[in-house]
Structure 1
């Protein structure tokens, strides 16, 4: 969890949407639910909650998809990066931790949606590690705020 006063920033892959939050980022979790899997195209997603009033869009705005009767998911309408999960009638919003400029600052404290966890997920630590050699050519926004992009 971050304390008040810690300003964290992040954004989408293309840089069209950027945000800052002064936290606190609470309850970091690893979610395995089927909606998260489909929304992110991944076996699991890490989230942390932040008060809605503490989250500020510094570039662009998110588009939203009402993924259930009770919640909406925010994403960049330019590149499709999933960014938020917002329960309706709640004072908090969940931020996809991998969209932070420094996601390594947060480790999940629990897992949810385990009924949909991929059967192979508990063994991922046994997979062979491979590094990507060289610098891949990327159009991805850098992991920090910029005055303009591109």
Structure 2
């Protein structure tokens, strides 16, 4: 049986399903991700391109920088994807867009040199 992860944007106009094992789940601290999401850090899960099916709507894309294309819902503005030439066969989806986001726990950090100095990520501190 293949694992399936369903996701959607905030308004539900865009829905997708990813099948199989994620390529990885990671924190991204880059300036571009911060500006795209409006959050101090983004958490992504990577899936092979052919493992994801768009079941409703369309992900609107734009080239945010050379070699990087970002996706969002054109109706509600939800940030959804990031694809780069560095990983040509996979797309990274914002973990928060998945129904079972709690199961997609990050294990790596990227662009830590761009991390905001006041951001503290203590996994043992819950709600503090």
Q: Is 1:75 aligned to residue 72 of structure 2?
A: yes
1:115 alignment partner in structure 2: 113
Normalised to the residue count of structure 1, the TM-score between the two structures is 0.78
Deviations 1:87-142 (A, max 9, x none): 24711111111100010001111111111211111267798948xxxxxxxxxxxx
Q: How many residues are aligned here?
A: 127
Matched residue SS, 1:121: coil
Normalised to the residue count of structure 2, the TM-score between the two structures is 0.90
What's the CA shift for 1:23? 2.6
What's the CA shift for 1:48? 1.3
Q: Give the gaps of 5 or more residues in structure 2.
A: none
1:39 alignment partner in structure 2: 36
Q: Give the gaps of 5 or more residues in structure 1.
A: 131-150
Q: Is 1:18 aligned to residue 10 of structure 2?
A: no
Equivalent positions of 1:1-150 (< 5 A) are: 5-88=2-85, 90-122=88-120, 129=127
- Aligned counterparts of 1:78 and 1:118: Cα–Cα separation in 2: 30
More strand by share: 2
- Aligned counterparts of 1:25 and 1:78: Cα–Cα separation in 2: 27
Q: Which runs of 4+ in 1 moved over 4 A?
A: 123-128
CA contact (8 A) 2:23 2:48 kept: no
CA RMSD of the aligned region, Å? 2.1
